[in-house]
Chain A
Amino acid sequence: MSTLEILFYALSAFAVISAAMVLISKNPIHSVLWLILVFFAISGHYILLNAQFLAIVNIIVYAGAIMVLFLFVIMLMNVKSDNEPQKKLFTKFIGVLSGGSLLTLLIALVKQTVQLEGKEVMMKEGTIGLIHPLGKALFSDYVVPFEISSVLFLSAMVGAVIIGKK
């Protein structure tokens, strides 16, 4: 095995175990902390794919901002494991079933994509995840969707401010 493969498998195991711990943990705060570790593992995968910019933005946005807010809300509401309502077995079963079918659907889609057939993952090479190619692609080929999504964010922000003022 090359160093790259060892890193890949170690990171994957790390990600899967942390993701499982998010579900297993009874305490919501523990779940959030495990979820942060999942984001770190995914950022590690981005770095293996030579997408440093995506890796660090993933950490800044998800681990650094969104998860802080998650933690903030959970701490503020003081959710504890013992007073959390326990779901019925039937509800749990339905949840597993719907989640599993979504997973099957996604795997089937990825397997059938024509563009991915016979391609290998570009480890340590490829430049699309670096800041210059990514910026060029966003502001030339994909400028309309990019601007529309930024308007969407702006409207969400204005909406949040208005709701907060009430």
Chain B
Amino acid sequence: MTILALDWGFIIEKLIMIAIIVFASLGIALYTTFGERKVAAILQDRPGPSRAGPFGLLQPLADGLKLIMKEEIIPNAANKWLFILGPGLAMTASLMSCAVIPWGSAVDVFGRHVELQIADVNIGILYVFAVVSMGVYGIMIGGWASNNKFSLMSALRAASQAISYELAMGLALIALLMTTGTLSLKTIVEQQVQGHWWNVVYQPLGFLIFFITAMAECNRTPFDLPEAENELNFGYHQEYSSMKLGFYLFAEYINMIMSSAIMACMYFGGYDLPFFNEASVAPNIAALIGVGTLLIKIVLFIFLFMWIRWTIPRFRYDQLMGLGWKTLIPLALFNMLLTGAVILAKL
């Protein structure tokens, strides 16, 4: 059987890495919910969750346990299969983007040369873009299958918002890959490690546009129109209970982590620690420092997301569409033309 002529070591290595990254993302997402409540508390000058465990550190576990123990309710009029599929799809789509993120440089374990990335595909950025565009299906399907008019309205809002902001995001990405000349995230990070400057220096406007659109794609306030509770009750997850609701809420936090990781890789040097020569220490230690650096950058981005959420109120729907179509897309086009002109002038 030639099917067994696979490199089993390679497959096991990748499986272990996928397991580590998925569980680490879930764990970090769990504590991001805690972080969100604490950040909100600090910004609103109150103590926040402080009862469960020291400094309230066990609060997310208690919340998770509560969600799991709740009764599963599937409405009679709902489309049963799609009702279950919705949260699953939301979760899958948000976890899928971790496949192309380079978490660090290579390490040597038991004589194997292990790259700290699940797949270095030569279309990395486009892969991320495709996964982002898949993310809206979870919300749309869940909202429609609930058979509730508020959920349906929310699903439609989510779809039109996602499509509007994907355009500006794609245009910002095009400008970035005009300067890097590659679609592979690994190569983009390595260019920044070896070069003098991070990409944000060359693409400040592109980064700003990407950041705003990423926030809109994650459905974070000020862009959380699909779950605007004063207009739509809870929006697309109105009819959901127990862990299905938990999946929707978790998917939002995992989206936030993944988009922070992607922004760190594309614009802020990924696992590159500034003013530090990675060649001066052993490769394994350099890789560990790299992973730590990337995690710190991710945490900083998540904090920025939360800071914005608890500072800026939600947009009105026409303002949201106006910002997307009349401000971000022309700005992104201008950024693209400017980048092209600079590259031409340099030739």
Contact = CB atoms under 8 A, between A and B. Distances in A.
A69 to B, nearest CB: 7
Given A52-B121, A59-B130, A131-B183, A72 B156 contact: yes
A72 B3 contact: no
A165 to B, nearest CB: 13
A102 interface: no
A131 B6 CA distance: 28
Interface residues of B, number: 29
A87 to B, nearest CB: 24
A69 B127 CA distance: 20
A60 B140 contact: no
Interface stretch (A1-9, A93-101, A103-111, A115-123): A1-9
A57 interface: yes
A65 B123 contact: no
B3 A60 contact: no
Given A52-B123, A56-B123, A68 B2 contact: no
A68 to B, nearest CB: 5
Contacts of B129: 60
A76 interface: yes
A68 B123 contact: no
B126 A53 contact: yes
Interface of B: 2-3, 5-6, 79, 82, 121-123, 126-127, 129-130, 133-134, 136-137, 140-141, 144, 152, 155-156, 159-160, 162-163, 166, 183
Given A3-B6, A52-B121, A59-B133, 12 more contacts: A29-B144, A53-B126, A57-B126, A59-B130, A60-B126, A60-B129, A64-B130, A68-B137, A68-B159, A68-B162, A71-B137, A130-B122
Interface of A: 1-3, 6, 27, 29-30, 33, 36, 52-53, 56-57, 59-60, 63-65, 68-69, 71-72, 75-76, 78, 130-131
